[in-house]
Structures are given as structure tokens and as C-alpha cells.
Amino acid sequence: MKCERFISLLTCSYEGNVDHTKLMDYLPYLLKKYNLDLQPSNSTCIDIESAKSVLYPGAHIATSNPYEHYHHGIVVDMNTSDISIIHLWGPDKHSGRVQTTTLPIFIAGSIDNVGKKTRRLYLVNYDNDTFDKQQETIQVAKKMLEKADDIVYNIATLNCESFACFCRTGKWNSEQIEKLKDLFIQNFLEIYETLKNADEKNRKQISSLLQTVPLVALNESDKVLYDQLCQQCNNESSEQ
């Protein structure tokens, strides 16, 4: 199974032209195999039809289907016909940037998928939330939008979830990356055997994710495999 699809999904950039009948995305396979749910903590699945009455400006939202990555964003305007959202997204993993979108496009994954694909909608709830905090979230998101050219997407440290979390809390956190890091640590050997021989054109993204793995959590044999996989990623990236 090719690593490129695995990493593409981790970047939270949905590519609508994937033929799922010919190629199983690696991330859903991985999540099913280990029964890992990437749903954000303290999140509630809400009816899309009732979004107008449930969501609010400053809301942190996410969208996904079972055994897929979660895409995150911040609601900034409820007074538009389709609800306005600011998120970190791109049509591919090389062009992710902060931009505006609407709820239908956010849920579908891209404008081309509106009416063709839908995903579940989640509201991420925060303890001790206030109107002032929600308004501050909007202002942070808008400031980030103004600085879109300065924000460089990174799978491990600056992805769609960490962007939304920063707008809401001031911290660059990505819970689903943390869960995947834990999965790598706990099942390192098996995952290594699956990934090491993959024919992949973009190993830099894999290397970026691997660099977030806390080495102190690996045993000695896992560290050897870790070093080998990182070296392989770097070598193949330099050859392309």
C-alpha cells in the first residue's frame, strides 16, 4: 500500500479524484486495523440541517466520516447563506494555506464535491467558554487569514487542526497527530514493515511526521528501525 495516500490524508487535504475502487487509502485501513478513532475530544456530532441553530461565530468545527482523518476549521460568520469558515486547506498537500470557505464546501472536501460527497459535522466544545473568547477566536482567524502567505503548512506542527486549535486556545495542538504518533510507537515494527518498501514520490511528509515521534518512548530495536526509515525517506527525497 502506497504511503503517499497515507500522508495525503494526514495533511487534511482531501483529493476528490481518488478512485477508491482501485486503491484503498492507507489511513482508513490503518485506523480500522487498530480501531483508532480520530474524533476530537469533547466534540459532538451535529445534524447538518440544524447547523444554523447550533453553530456560532468562533465555533471550532470538524468534519469526517468513520475511519478517516478529521478536517478542522473556524466559523467566522453565521449571517451568510452558507455559513463562512476560515481554515487551513489546499487542493493538494503542497499548497495548503489559510483561506475562507463555506460550510457545504467544508463538509464536501472541495467545491467540486458539493452535492457528490458529504461528511459528518462535529462541534468541538470548550470548557468555560464565553462570548468574548469566541469573538477573540474570530479575530485571530482573520489575522491569520491576512498573513496567509507567511503560514507554511506542515503535517506535524501546522495542519488544519493545529490551526483551528491555535485560533481557539493560542496553542498549536493536533490531537489526531498525537494519536497517530502513539499508534506508531505502540505498533512501530508492524507499521515499519508495511511502509519501508512503498514506492513513494514525497518522503518529506513522512519524515516530518516521524520527527514528531518522541524517541524516548521507543525501545532500542524500534530506534534502529526508526533511523532506517528516516534515512530511507531522506535518501529517496534527495533523489527526486
Model confidence pLDDT, tens digit, residues 178-214: 898 888 778 877 766 665 555 554 455 556 666 666 6
Whether the Cβ atoms of residue 153 and residue 88 lie closer than 8 Å to each other: yes
Q: How crowded is residue 103: how many other Cβ atoms within 10 Å of its Cβ?
A: 23
Cβ neighbours of residue 219 closer than 8 Å, sequence gap 6 or more: none
Question: Phi, psi at residue 198, to the nearest 5°?
Answer: -65, 140
pLDDT for residue 109: 93
- Do residues 104 and 220 both lie within one domain? no
Number of domains making up the chain: 2
Q: CA 93, 99, 101 angle in degrees (round to 5)?
A: 105
pLDDT above 50 for 4: no
Chain centroid to CA 27:
12
- Do residues 29 and 105 both lie within one domain? yes
Taking residues 150-164, what's their average pLDDT? 87
- Do residues 80 and 186 both lie within one domain? no
- Do residues 14 and 36 both lie within one domain? yes
Domain that holds residue 29: 3-170
| CATH number of domain containing 151 | 3.90.1720
- Do residues 92 and 184 both lie within one domain? no
Question: Phi, psi at residue 208, to the nearest 5°?
Answer: -60, -45
Share of residues in the chain with pLDDT > 90 (%): 50
pLDDT tens digits for range 104-122: 999 999 999 999 999 999 9
Q: Which three cell numbers stand for residue 164?
A: 483551528
- Do residues 126 and 183 both lie within one domain? no
Report the C-alpha gap between 108 and 92 in whole angstroms. 15
pLDDT tens digits for range 216-233: 666 787 778 778 777 766
- Do residues 98 and 199 both lie within one domain? no
Report the C-alpha gap between 24 and 32 in whole angstroms. 12
- Do residues 73 and 147 both lie within one domain? yes
Beta bridge partners of 229: none
Whether the Cβ atoms of residue 58 and residue 75 lie closer than 8 Å to each other: yes
Taking residues 16-21, what's their average pLDDT? 32
pLDDT above 80 for 99: yes
- Do residues 113 and 89 both lie within one domain? yes
Out of 149, 170, 191, a domain closes at 170
pLDDT above 50 for 29: yes
Taking residues 75-83, what's their average pLDDT? 96
Out of 134, 149, 170, a domain closes at 170
